[in-house]
Structure formats: C-alpha cells, structure tokens
Copies of this chain bind each other. A is one copy, B any other.
C-alpha cells in the first residue's frame, strides 16, 4: 500500500505529553507490523503563534496539513503565562480557532463520538445498567449554530442587540442523517457478527437490530427542526431495517442520564451535538477516556482530524500527570479510519484499542503518570 501520512499537531498544555505516548504506540505498531505509515509533527503552540502573528496557527497551516491523510491533534487552549497579566488569558476564541478552522477548511462534516462504558472507566450513574452504554453520537459538524454569522449592534451600550444566525441546509442535513443510518446498519452488522444483539421497536411495531434517534428542538426552533424532521422521515424510509426515534434536546439530555443504555445511534445538530457528546462522554467515564473524530467521509483529498475530547489542562501541563488514555483511544480510532485505504492500519487500530481497553480495565483507579501508562500499553502491544 501507499504510505499513509499523519500530521501530528500536539497543541497546548498537556497536548504534547499525551501526543508523545500516541507516537510511542504508533512506533511500536509500525515496528511490529511493518506498517506503511509515517508522521510529521507541527508544533504550533497557540500562544507563540498568536504573539507573533495574531493567529494561533501559521497562515498556511491548512495548506500544509492538507497533504496528509489524517491529523492527530493533542489539545488546544492556552491561557498564557499566569505571571504576566498582559499576556494572560488568551481568549478561547483565539486558541481554539484551529479546531473550528480545520473542521470548516477540510469540510469535516461528521463529528463522531462513540460512548461505551468500558470496564475500569469511572461510572457516574448509580444504575448498574450503565455498563451496557453503547451509543454513537453523530454531530453535524459543518454548519447550523456554528456558522459564526451575526454581530453586535450598539455594542457595549444599554441598547445593544446581539444576533447569532443559525443556518442549516438540506444538503448537510441529508448527508448527516444518512450517515447516521449507515452507521446504525454497520453497528448492527458488527453486533450480529459478535453474537451480541439489541432490539428496538419501530413506530409500526416491528423489531429492529439498530436505531437512530434524531435530536432537535423543533417545538421551539421550528424552521430547521421541521426540516430535520422531514429529512429524517424521508431518509428513514431507505432504511426499513433501522428503527427511528425523535427526541427533543432537553428530553434527550434527561434520558441520557436516566437510561443511556437505551440509545444506539444519535444524530444531532452542531451545538446540540456538542452538548450531547459531552454528556455522553461523562456518562461513559469522563473526558479521560473520550475520543472525538472529525471526519470528511466523502472527499479523499481532505484529511480527517482526531482529537481527544478533553482540553489542554494547563494546570497540570508539563508534569507528566496527564492521562493519555483518551488520546490513545483517539489514535486507535484514527488508525481504524485510515484502514479504509490500508487494511493493515485498521487491524493495528483494533489492536491498539484492545490494548488501551485492557490497560484501563486492569488499572482502574491507579495513580500512574503519563509515561507509565503509555509504557504499559506499548508493552502490551509487544507482548
């Protein structure tokens, strides 16, 4: 196979540390299986770039990154040096911009965040059935509430009016909903292969192996709520084997807490998906284990981007304390994704996932440092 090329952007705070362990695992896997894969590191700490250029990435960053098959991102967000008030508190809107820039620039229109409560992960819910949580939250990642249109009229005065426009297109709606149904079908197929089954009721009383739950707030945000609903009903007809369900976002959040194990695939808008994925992450163990994938499944010239859901945790940065687990699950997911072109990478991704999951299960609650966890997982990979 052609060599797969990965761009690594370690970012800020604990980013470089957890990325370090990801690279160790990638090296171990490459050596073990002779994988045709290489990577390049782009050390673009937000603060440094911002001080030089007012931006948190080099001007041609996207152009540089586009040459790669995938981007592995550590973490973004740098409040700056606390002891220098002039430079302290670099606003999130600057240091997090690369995330939104990459999503937009590479049209990564799917944000996929699987949530399973793996053995060893922290369980926040009292109900034992939380162990059965196994959902995939799919967030529309290209438009909606995140279009950044709007402004501030009479800014700073008592008469100020701030507007923010939400823009939804039927095209982006259709593709994300269809993607959700396809994933539901794939997940059902995998479950059947593994001898696990689930069962969901359709509105007309049939039983299906999988379900897509659409989340909107159509009783208050009517325009796109109705469009989403219509698209969902239409596309759902192409997938008679997948049960459908519709929840309002407030009720969905409530049901995530009450019975998260009842969900399979969940499709939501950009902002509502942002909220639901964080909630799904905490219900399945918290930020310490949650991967996040920003995918462009349609255009092979555009790299997809993989990041742990956690932030840059500046308070513990540089101390070797950060848990690389989420980063390594993310790396595994990236390899599986790259496996669409090179199946040896998919196998390596699965292997990494299993190693990280086994490490998590065996070391629940242990106090280990970044390198120690990475080393334990590499050891598992070579054993």
Contact surface of A with B, Cβ cutoff 8 Å: 92-93, 96, 100, 123-127, 145-146, 148, 150-152, 154-171, 174, 217-224, 226-227, 230, 249-251, 253-254, 257-258, 271, 274-275, 277-279, 281-283, 286-287
Contact = CB atoms under 8 A, between A and B. Distances in A.
A171 B159 contact: yes
Contacts of A171: 158-159
B271 A258 contact: no
A220 B166 contact: no
A134 B136 CA distance: 32
Contacts of A151: 223
B163 A100 contact: no
Contact of A168 (B93, B124, B163): B163
Given A219-B92, A221-B145, A253-B253, A258 B275 contact: no
Given A125-B125, A126-B125, A218-B93, A163 B223 contact: yes
A221 B160 contact: no
Copy tally for this chain in the complex stands at 2
Nearest to A100: B220
A133 to B, nearest CB: 13
A249 B275 CA distance: 7
Contacts of A127: 124
Given A220-B100, A271-B221, A163 B162 contact: no
Nearest to A161: B169
A319 B154 CA distance: 55
A168 B159 contact: no
A148 B222 contact: yes
B162 A223 contact: yes
A166 B168 contact: no
Given A169-B161, A170-B160, A171-B159, A250 B278 contact: yes
Nearest to A311: B251
5 contacts: A124-B125, A163-B165, A164-B221, A257-B279, A275-B275
Given A160-B227, A253-B279, 20 more contacts: A124-B125, A124-B126, A125-B125, A126-B126, A148-B220, A150-B166, A150-B222, A152-B223, A152-B227, A160-B169, A161-B169, A162-B224, A164-B166, A217-B274, A249-B274, A249-B275, A251-B278, A253-B253, A257-B282, A258-B282
A275 B275 CA distance: 9
A114 to B, nearest CB: 17
A254 B282 contact: yes
Contacts of A287: 254
B126 A218 contact: no
A170 B166 contact: no
Identify which of A155, A160, A230, A258 gathers the most chain B CB atoms within 10 Å of its CB.
A160
B167 A163 contact: yes
A170 B159 contact: yes
A98 to B, nearest CB: 12
A227 B230 CA distance: 35
Nearest to A126: B126
A162 B125 CA distance: 38
Given A227-B160, A250-B278, A254-B278, A92 B125 contact: no
Nearest to A148: B222
B271 A93 contact: no
